[in-house]
Amino acid sequence: MSRKKDIDLDLTGFAELFMNDEGRAESRLPRIYDIPLSEIDDFPNHPFKVKMDEDMNQLVQSVKERGIITPVTLRQKEDGRYEIVSGHRRRKACELAGLERVPAEIKELSRDEAIILMVESNLQRSIILPSEKAFSYKMRLEAMKRQAGRPPKDNYSPVGNNLAGTTSSELMAEQIGESKNQIYRYIRLTELIPELLDMVDENKIAFRPAVELSYLTETEQHNLLNSISYNDATPSLPQAIRLKEFSKAGKLSAEVIEAILGEEKPNQKEKISFKAERLRPYIPSSVPLDKTEDYIIKALEYYQRARERQKREQAR
C-alpha cells in the first residue's frame, strides 16, 4: 500500500536476525486489527448471498457470547477505506449483534487477487446456490485470465496463463475440483434472466435444462416465464434442448414455447389450467397471486354447499 508500510516490513525482516525461533514464528503471524464497521465496504458485485436465516441467528448469538473467533479479511482501497474480501456473514453478524468494530486481517491484494481469494474462501461453505457458483466462477475465471495477461472472451474459450501448456480454465478446474465443462455450464447460468435463475436456486428448474435455456434470448426467456406460470410446469431436458434449437433457428415464438411446454410429460399428473385473465375479474385485488388457488378452492367449496342446500330444499 504505502511506502512507509514497505519500510516497516523490511525492518521486521532485519529484526528477525536478532530473534530466537519462537520470536521469529510469532513475528510471521498475521497482524489482527480492530476495524470500525463504518469503514468497511462490500466487495463489488459480491456473488454470495448473506441470508437472514436460522444459521445467521445462531452466528449472531455466538458473536454476542464469544465474539468473532476467525477474523475477517480486508483489502485497503485507494481512498483509505476497506473492502471486505472474506467474512461477509461475520461482518453482518457483528452488525446485528450491536458491535461497532470487527477483528480483521488486512492483506495487500490487487483487484484480481482479491476476487480469487473471495471466491476461494466462500466456496468452502457447505451450501452454495447455483447462482452463487455461476457468478463466482465467472468472476474468478476472468480474473485468472487477466492475471495470465490475456483479456477474457465472451465465449470463455481457453486462453494461456503463466503455466506452460495449461489454460486458465484447466487450472481453475484443478483448483476447485470441477471439470472444465461443468465450470462452463455454471457460467452459462449468468445469461438467465433473474426470475429464471431464482427458479434454479429454488430447485424448480433443474440444472441441465437451465443451461440449455440460457441460450434463449431475453425476450424468449420472458415468454418462457409466462408459459411456465400459465402451465404450472417447467421444461424437461429434452424440451429445453428443443427450445434452444428453435431459438437458434430464429423460430422460437411465444406460440412455439406454449406448444412445447404444454406437452404432457410421462410422469405428469392430469391437471386443469385456467387463463389468469379469465379468473382475475372474480378474484378480489387484495388476494395475492400465490393465494389464488386457495381462494378458488374455498369459493368452489362454498358453491358446492349452496348447491346441496338447494337440492335439499327442492326435495321437501
What pLDDT digit, counting tens, does each position of 14-25 carry? 555 555 555 545
User: Does 219 score more than 90 pLDDT?
Assistant: yes
At 6 the pLDDT is 40
Chain centroid, CA 182 distance in Å: 16
The answer to the question of residue 140 being in a domain is: yes
Residue 160 vs residue 51, higher pLDDT: 51
pTM: 0.64
The answer to the question of residue 12 being in a domain is: no
At 273 the pLDDT is 65
- Per-residue pLDDT reduced to its tens digit, 95-125: 999 999 999 999 999 888 998 898 888 887 7
Phi and psi of 205, rounded to 5°? -120, 130
- Per-residue pLDDT reduced to its tens digit, 224-245: 999 999 888 999 999 999 999 9
At 2 the pLDDT is 38
Angle between helices 218-231 and 237-248 (to 10 degrees): 140
The answer to the question of residue 171 being in a domain is: yes
151 shares its domain with 212: no
- Per-residue pLDDT reduced to its tens digit, 262-293: 886 655 555 566 666 677 777 887 777 667 77
User: Does 163 score more than 60 pLDDT?
Assistant: no
- Per-residue pLDDT reduced to its tens digit, 123-161: 877 678 999 999 999 999 999 888 876 554 444 433 334
152 shares its domain with 223: no
Assigned C-alpha cell, 188? 452459462
54 shares its domain with 72: yes
256 shares its domain with 299: no
- The CA distance from 149 to 68, in Å, is 38
- The CA distance from 139 to 118, in Å, is 10
Q: Hey, which of 191-200, 287-296, 306-315 has the most confident mean pLDDT?
A: 191-200
**Helical H runs in the chain?**
3-15, 21-27, 54-66, 88-96, 111-122, 130-147, 168-176, 180-188, 194-201, 207-213, 218-231, 237-248, 254-261, 276-279, 292-315
The answer to the question of residue 18 being in a domain is: no
At 106 the pLDDT is 93
- Per-residue pLDDT reduced to its tens digit, 59-93: 999 999 998 988 999 999 889 899 999 989 999 99
Boundary of a domain, candidates 69, 89, 123: 123
Query: Domain span at residue 164?
Result: 129-191
89 shares its domain with 145: no
72 shares its domain with 148: no
At 1 the pLDDT is 38
39 shares its domain with 104: yes
The answer to the question of residue 309 being in a domain is: yes
Boundary of a domain, candidates 141, 167, 191: 191
116 shares its domain with 54: yes
Residue 33 vs residue 24, higher pLDDT: 33
235 shares its domain with 163: no
At 29 the pLDDT is 54
At 90 the pLDDT is 92
At 11 the pLDDT is 45
43 shares its domain with 95: yes
Residue 310 vs residue 240, higher pLDDT: 240
Boundary of a domain, candidates 88, 106, 123: 123
User: Does 53 score more than 90 pLDDT?
Assistant: no
246 shares its domain with 307: no
- The CA distance from 297 to 127, in Å, is 37
Residue 175 vs residue 17, higher pLDDT: 175
The answer to the question of residue 51 being in a domain is: yes
User: Does 199 score more than 90 pLDDT?
Assistant: yes
Least confident piece of the model among 35-49, 139-153, 170-184, 211-225? 139-153
The answer to the question of residue 271 being in a domain is: no
User: Does 177 score more than 80 pLDDT?
Assistant: yes
- The CA distance from 227 to 310, in Å, is 40
The answer to the question of residue 115 being in a domain is: yes
Over residues 38-50, mean pLDDT: 89
- Total count of domains within the chain: 4
161 shares its domain with 214: no
